[in-house]
Structure formats: C-alpha cells, structure tokens
Amino acid sequence: MHPIRKKRLTIVLFLVAGLAIAVGLTTYALRQNINLFYDPSDIAAGNAPVDVRIRAGGMVEEGSVIRDPDSLKVEFRVTDFAASLQMEYVGILPDLFAEGQGVVAMGRMNANGRFIADQVLAKHDEQYMPPEVAEALERASRGQHKAADLEKAAESTAY
Amino acid sequence: MWQWFHKLGSPKWFFGIATRLMPWLLIGGLLLLAAGLVWGLAFAPKDYLQGNSYRIIFIHVPSAFLAQSIYISMAVAALVTLVWRMKLADVFVKAIAPVGLVFTFLALFTGAVWGKPTWGTWWVWDARLTSMLILLFLYGGVIALDRAINDEKSAARAVAVLVLVGVVNIPIIKYSVDWWNTLHQPATFKLTEKPTMPMEMWLPLLLSVLGLYLLFGWLTCLRMKTEILVREQRTRWVKELVLAGGK
C-alpha cells in the first residue's frame, strides 16, 4: 500500500477507535440513566429513589393480580425472580397485560415500599408462535406439573 | 484483487455493470418481496399473544435491517473515500444516504404503529428507540452537510468524516437491547442463532428481508448511475452515450 494511504488509514482508524472508547465510557458512566427501568431487586436493594417518578419493570407474578370490582384499581406484584415489588394502578391496562407477562410501569415508590403506577406498559419477549403451538406447550407443561404432583403425592404416601 | 478494486474506481466500468445488473435485481427483489409479504401478511399463522398485529414485523424488521446495513456500507465507502480518494465511493454515499433516511423513518414509524397496540404507547425513550432516532438524525446530517458544501471534493471528505463518526452508533443500536433494560424486546430474527419463531413465520420474514435488499441494490444502481452522469457530463463516453440514445 502507498505510504500516504497507509498514513491516512492509520489516522482514520485512530479516529474511530478513540471515538468508540469515548462513547463507550460515556454510555458506561450513564448506564443507570440509559436503563429504561429499575428491576425489583434494584428497588429492594434501595438503589431507586423514593417519591421520585421512576420506571419499574419485571414479570407479573402468577396469581398476584387483584382487581377492585367497583373501580379500575388493580394491584399486582412484579418480580424478577430474585425480589418482588407490590404495585398499584388505577386505569386501563394494555391488552397484553397478563400474569406471567412482562410490564414496565411509570410511577413513584411510596414510603411503605409500594409502587404507585400512573402508566403501565406491556413488554413482550422475542418469542412468536402460533396459538396451537402455545396451547400444546401449555398442555405439555401442565402435564409435567401433574406428573410431578403425582410423584410428590406418591412420595408423601410411600410410608 | 487490486485490479478489481481499481476497476471499481472507474465510473464508466461501473455504469456498464450496473446497467446489466439492474433488471435482475429489480425482478428478483420484487418477486421475493411480494412472496414474503403475501405469505407473511395473509398465510403465516397468528401469534398466540399478539394475534394479527404482530404481522407488521414483516415490514418493520426488513426496514430496520436495511437502515443499519446502509449505514455500515456508507461507512465502508467513507473509509475508501478518505484513504484511497476513490470518486465512486463518494457517489455511493451520496446516492444511498436518502434511501437510508427513508428506511430508518419506516422502521421508526412501523415500530410506533406496532408499539401502540402491544406496549400501550407510541414512543418510549428507551435505548433502542433513541439510538434509532439518532441514526435518523445522522442520515439527515449527512445529506445536509453534503448539500451545504459546494466544492465536490471538500464535501466528499467532510461527509466521509461525519459518516465515520456516526458509525459508533451502529453497535449501540444492535446491542442496546442486551446492554440495558429496554421496553423493546431482544432480536427475533438472527442469522447466527436458531430463530425464536417457527419456520412458517421465519421464512416469509427471510424472503421479505432478501427482497428488500435486492430492491435496495436496484435503487442504488439507479441513483448512482444518475449521479455518475451528472458528474461525468463533460467526458467523451457520456457524450457518446447520450448521442446513442442512452443505449
């Protein structure tokens, strides 16, 4: 390669590498601000500010959704399988909201450690499948549970 | 290899190649895209959770792929402009920047339309969406900078530097969903790993992506040929071409 071109190439590569390092360090330093939401374990560890508008996200715990029959008030627990967080919301939930689905909620932590949400967004994962496949999976997992239950029952009655 | 590289630097040679390639790119692209879209929009199964609204993926993902691929190819061309001063590389950047802008806008727009029924919001300032918006502004900046400088050579260098500066954004877009908590889910359509969707959804998506790439190739040839004709209007081969009626 021609020496002038080699020199130009080195300059350009240095420019891009330096810039990448600068941007890398900046985003690393700002990672808490770039994260869209706090995990329940972040909040349990006391990393989230109290009484400041924040977002919290995780999976809606199975069997934790309690709907108030007279209003739009909903209570549910959100978990990341390490810690869980009690949430309260008054309003219309997105269609995809369900137990076992991800949500991201905007709101404030109150003094009692409850999260008062004023907006709830549904988060979905990258899995797509036809309804029949989902049903089959559901059936299969229930079948496994049943088998496990039977085993447990057999164990407990073994003596 | 170097001989091929130097040939690529000749606008006349490229003009001939592009003219021969274009019908194939156009026919192949239209067929693949039509097959992918008809299959995806009408025949692929519904999603168990989102129902029919997930079908916007057949437009959203190909546009987003193109938006990022176009920027990466612009960055390679910018490197060639800066190091080898090859004119054709600059023609390429100039020709495809507006195309990249359109695809980035399409990806953002279809994403917003999709986000409303699934997430419950049109827009959220998470890392994926924000870095895509920055990409849109980068394309806008590249086009504006190019138009703002009258001298062809200085415009080419300034644009090349801007394109290379902006390339840092590409890995941020790609890995934003893995590095940070985002509302946007991680990638479904992966070339290196097993896809997280069944074949009857993945294949039409693959066809639309490939079709859109071919159509982009066709559009690139068309736009580059126009730009070459403008720049080389004083040369003999262009004058002969025009006198021969463009044949």
- pLDDT tens column, A147-156: 555 555 555 4
**What are the chain A neighbours of B205 within 8 Å (beta carbons)?**
none
Chain B residues interacting with chain A (CB cutoff of 8 angstroms)? 45-50, 54, 57, 79, 82-84, 117-121, 124-127, 161, 164-165, 167-168, 172, 179-183, 185-188, 196-198, 200-201
Distances (CA, A) of B107 to A77, B58, B65, B132, B135: 34, 11, 9, 9, 11
Give pLDDT, residue B68.
Answer: 96
Min Cα distance B114 → chain A (Å) is 12
Min Cα distance A132 → chain B (Å) is 8
List the domain range (segments joined by +) for residue B214: 20-42+54-186+193-243
**What are the chain B neighbours of A104 within 8 Å (beta carbons)?**
124, 183
A104 touches chain B (CB under 8 A): yes
* Residue B80 lies inside a defined structural domain of this protein: yes
**What are the chain A neighbours of B181 within 8 Å (beta carbons)?**
35-39, 57
Give pLDDT, residue A157.
Answer: 47
N residues, chain B: 247
Query: Tens-digit pLDDT profile for chain B (247 aa)?
Result: 667 777 677 888 889 899 999 999 999 999 999 999 999 999 888 888 888 888 999 999 999 999 999 999 999 999 999 998 888 999 999 999 999 999 999 999 999 999 988 888 899 888 999 999 999 999 999 999 999 999 989 999 999 999 999 999 999 999 998 888 888 988 887 777 777 888 888 999 999 999 999 999 999 999 999 999 998 888 888 888 888 876 5
* Residue B147 lies inside a defined structural domain of this protein: yes
The CATH number of the domain where B211 resides is what?
1.20.120
Give pLDDT, residue B1.
Answer: 61
- Of B24, B78, B90, B35, nearest in space to B206 by CA: B35
Measured distance CA(B232)–CA(B245) in Å, rounded: 17
- Of A30, A128, A12, nearest in space to B131 by CA: A30
Measured distance CA(B96)–CA(B93) in Å, rounded: 6
* Residue B168 lies inside a defined structural domain of this protein: yes
Local confidence band at A145 (pLDDT 50, 70, 90 cut-offs): low
Burial readout A15-36 (b: 16 or more C-beta within 10 A, e: otherwise): ebeeeeeeeeeebeeeeeebbb
Prediction pTM value: 0.86
**Tokens describing residue B233:** 């209007």
Min Cα distance A18 → chain B (Å) is 10
Residue B56 per-residue DSSP state: G
pLDDT over 90, % of chain A: 13
The partner residue sitting opposite B47, judged by closest CB among A39, A128, A135, is: A128
Tokens 């998506």 belong to B205
A41 touches chain B (CB under 8 A): no
Most distant CA pair in chain A, distance: 87
Contact B176, A30 (CB under 8 A): no
Which of A30-39, A55-64, B78-87, B201-210 shows the lowest mean pLDDT across its residues? A30-39
Beta-bridge partner residues of A88? A75, A116
What average pLDDT is seen over chain A? 83
Q: Do B47 and A16 touch (CB under 8 A)?
A: no
Q: Is pLDDT above 50 for A159?
A: no
The partner residue sitting opposite A128, judged by closest CB among B54, B161, B183, is: B54
Q: Domain count of chain B? A: 1
Min Cα distance A5 → chain B (Å) is 5
* Residue B112 lies inside a defined structural domain of this protein: yes
* Residue B222 lies inside a defined structural domain of this protein: yes
Contact A100, A108 (CB under 8 A): no
The partner residue sitting opposite B164, judged by closest CB among A16, A31, A130, is: A16
Give pLDDT, residue A129.
Answer: 84
Q: φ, ψ for residue B50 (rounded to 5)?
A: -95, -10
Contact B99, B45 (CB under 8 A): no
* Residue B89 lies inside a defined structural domain of this protein: yes
- Of A146, A147, A122, nearest in space to B53 by CA: A122
A131 touches chain B (CB under 8 A): yes
* Residue B11 lies inside a defined structural domain of this protein: no
Q: Do A128 and B180 touch (CB under 8 A)?
A: no
Interface test with B, best of A16, A19, A26, A34 (most B CBs within 10 A): A34
* Residue B7 lies inside a defined structural domain of this protein: no
User: Please, which residues have CB within 8 angstroms of residue B150's CB and are 6 or more apart in sequence?
Assistant: none
Residue B156, Cα to own-chain centre: how many angstroms? 20
> Which residue type does B215 have?
L
Give pLDDT, residue A48.
Answer: 82
